[in-house]
Structure 1
Amino acid sequence: MTIETTQLGKPSAIPASPEEAVLDRVPNPHPGTLYLARFTAPEFTSICPVTGQPDFGILVIDYAPGEWLVESKSLKLFLTSFRNHGAFHEDCTVGIGMKLVDLLAPRWLRIGGYWYARGGIPIDVFWQTAEPPKGLWLPDQGVPPYRAR
């Protein structure tokens, strides 16, 4: 099987914005098997679109793959491209989830955005495509409720 990616195994610059970032996908070697794949980004950063101040959060992406897997290097570069991107927490979290769904057409996907407090209020954002498939082992996302993270 030939796997064609744009970044894997090659030097890659950090994209200037999420719009410029390229997400690659690779064939799932077990497309008929129900399983969960998880990516955790414990140092996710973006910029407040109003104040320009940095926002920090933990993203946890869980998905049940169909025919495709997201290629992890391209995902890392995509997530890193938010460092200079101005967007509210809700837009970052839900937008990332939707972009992955558009690319992968997974059986199911959820994303949890656990944002650190700024201005005294933490904002946690959760989005999923639907109810999880019956029989899918779905562990807790592992990020505790807010207690001065």
Structure 2
Amino acid sequence: METIYSDLKQLGGKTELPETPEQAVLERVANPQADVSYCVRFTAPEFTSLCPMTGQPDFAHIVIDYVPDQWLVESKSLKLFLGAFRNHGAFHEDCTVSIARRLVELLSPRWLRIGGYWYPRGGIPIDVFWQTGAMPADVWIPDQGVPPYRGRG
């Protein structure tokens, strides 16, 4: 029986963590509620990547909000994509915006924003924010709920 989930390749089985974000396969499914505007939130409180200069790990709390149109991101593929950054060397700004742009390319959402709340490097936390445009007026979109840095936790 054919369903909107029939084309998924990673869900329901063992899938290896991709070696790089570029190798990660993000999957999408048709949005069965495409006639309704609503917000979807993904939170990755233990995101890691590598400093491109030192190779040391960097840690972030990533919050992704989006208002879907015709497509939803499949969450296991998103987890694998985010996990692929753990051996990827890039600055905080590049990691954060790259995640958002890849999702926009895949989903063509009505709206998307990302907050990358990075833990201190050299004593300075670097928070990175990006969104596709003005926040939709007809959708309740809560605050991302991550306080300004004061010993985040």
TM norm structure 2: 0.96
CA shift in 2, pair 1:2/1:33, >3 Å: closer
C-alpha RMSD of the superposition:
0.7
- Tell me which residue corresponds to 1:106: 109
- Tell me which residue corresponds to 2:10: 7
Name the SS of the counterpart of 2:103 in structure 1: helix
Give yes or no for the alignment of 1:77 onto 2:80. Answer: yes
Residue 140 of structure 1 and its aligned partner are, at CA, apart by: 0.6
In structure 1, how many angstroms separate the alpha carbons of the residues matched to 2:61 and 2:90? Answer: 16
In structure 2, how many angstroms separate the alpha carbons of the residues matched to 1:146 and 1:13? Answer: 34
- Tell me which residue corresponds to 1:92: 95
* Structure 1 residues not aligned, in runs of 5+: none
* Structure 2 residues not aligned, in runs of 5+: none
- Tell me which residue corresponds to 2:30: 27
Residues 60, 118 of structure 2: 8 Å contact kept = yes
Aligned counterpart for 1:117 among listed residues 116, 120, 131 = 120
- Tell me which residue corresponds to 2:53: 50
Larger CA deviation: 3-12 vs 97-106: 3-12
AA of the residue aligned to 2:71: W
AA of the residue aligned to 1:127: W
Q: Which runs of 4+ in 1 moved over 2 A?
A: none
Name the SS of the counterpart of 1:93 in structure 2: helix
Name the SS of the counterpart of 1:98 in structure 2: helix
CA deviations 1:51-101 (Å, max 9, x no partner) are 111000000000000000000000000000000000000000000000000
**Identical counterparts, % of pairs:** 68
Aligned counterpart for 1:60 among listed residues 59, 63, 70 = 63
Alignment length (residue pairs): 149
CA deviations 1:90-120 (Å, max 9, x no partner) are 0000000000000000000000000000101
Name the SS of the counterpart of 2:117 in structure 1: strand
TM norm structure 1: 0.98
Residues 66, 111 of structure 2: 8 Å contact kept = yes
In structure 1, how many angstroms separate the alpha carbons of the residues matched to 2:105 and 2:13? Answer: 25
